[in-house]
Amino acid sequence: MDLSLLLSNLTNPTLLFFMLGIVAHLVRSDLEIPPTTIKFISLYLLFSIGFKGGQELAHEHINLQFMGELLFGMAIAGAIPVYVFFLLRNKLGVQNAGAIAAAYGSVSAVTFVAASGFLEAKELPFSGHMVAIMALMESPAIIVGMVLLMRFDKEGDRPTLGHMLRHSLTNGSVLMLIGSLVIGLVADTRQAEGIKPFTTDIFKGFLAVFLLEMGMVTAARFNAFRRYGRTVSVMAVLIPLVNGCAVAWLSGSITPGPGDRFMFATLAASASYIAVPAAMRLAAPKADPGLYIPMALGVTFPLNITLGMPVYLAIVQGT
């Protein structure tokens, strides 16, 4: 891997704000971003990436190539939970393994946003339909995780698959993303230019503030995470790296575009810490959120935006 690529990523202003958030927590600073502000910024980021994706998708043809990429993305989201579940079931129990499997099979919209900024800095384009694929990769992992729980955990009642699917699709973050994508798709191009300063020009600034908050949240999660020991720490590092590297290589047979291949790899390496925890409260009530949320947010997320993305891009560009 080109060390200059890693260095460039580590000196990215948005990533440096993430590190500042970690430092702020470690030194017990009173730095705080109001929860309502962070909620607004979260919705803005999803709105912006969805709307821009819809605008790009409006100029693309829905053809066999797109359908093949969509099926590839959903296959990834369905396959990852299976191997993760059986890898962790004996060590952590069925409910914890099911929740972790769903989290790592699903995707992180925030990681996707950070990846789009990474590609923009490298001046590498990616297809607008990747936003649609990302949104549709959220539910398969939840469904597979639910099926595994129903099959291997005989304790207690379980919500129906229909209930789980409806819950995952109506989750606020997923609904904002899909809704913005549809609006961007059908909106008049000339009129859409009127909100471009809001959807594009201020995007990186809001992302930097959001990652500052994510840094503080990440550092705060480590205390709850430590009690589970070295095994889960190693898994939170190895699972995303294996998934990301494998998909970076395999995606060459699906799409030739380096930007799209990088996005597939990053999505495969990411882990959901928003939609999946909300769903797992219903599906796996005995699973410990102090385990699967810190794994996704405290280890996997910073790993991907520091080391992972340069590694995945290097694989894509080298194959």
In the predicted model, what is the mean pLDDT of residues 275-304? Answer: 78
27-76 pLDDT per residue, tens: 999 998 898 888 888 788 878 877 877 787 777 677 788 889 989 999 99
Range of the domain at 157: 3-21+30-318
Residue 304 has a pLDDT of 92
**pLDDT for position 252:** 92
Per-residue pLDDT tens for 149-200?
878 876 655 566 676 666 656 666 667 777 887 888 888 878 878 887 887 7
* CB contact at 8 A, 67 and 75: no
Cα dist from 89 to 30, 81, 238, 249, 307, whole Å: 40, 11, 17, 28, 28
pLDDT of residue 61: 73
Q: Where residue 2 falls among pLDDT bands split at 50, 70, 90?
A: low
Return the number of other C-beta atoms located less than 10 Å from residue 179's C-beta. Answer: 16
pLDDT band at 215 (very low <50, low <70, confident <90, very high): confident
The number of domains in the chain is 1
Residue 86: pLDDT band with limits 50, 70, 90: very high
User: pTM, whole model, 2 decimals?
Assistant: 0.75
Buried b (16+ CB within 10 A) or exposed e, 206-222: bbbbbbbbbbbbbbebe
CB 43 within 8 A of CB 236: no
- Residue 125 sits in a domain of what CATH number? 1.20.1530.20
pLDDT, residue 171, reads: 63
From 29-43, 70-84, 278-292, the region with the lowest mean pLDDT: 278-292
Higher pLDDT, 240 or 305: 240
Over the chain, what is the mean pLDDT?
83
Which of 128 and 256 is assigned the larger pLDDT? 256
Contacts (Cβ under 8 Å, ≥6 apart) of 160: none
Q: Residue 46: is it exposed, middle or buried by C-beta count within 10 angstroms (0-12/13-18/19+)?
A: buried
- Residue with more model confidence, 219 or 67: 67
Residue 253 banded pLDDT, cuts 50, 70, 90: very high
Q: Of the candidates 184, 203, 85, 99, which has an alpha carbon nearest to the alpha carbon of residue 135?
A: 184
DSSP letter (8 states) at residue 243: H
pLDDT of residue 248: 96
Are 319 and 239 a contacting pair, CB within 8 Å? no
Mean pLDDT of 306-312: 92
Q: At residue 287, does pLDDT exceed 60? A: yes
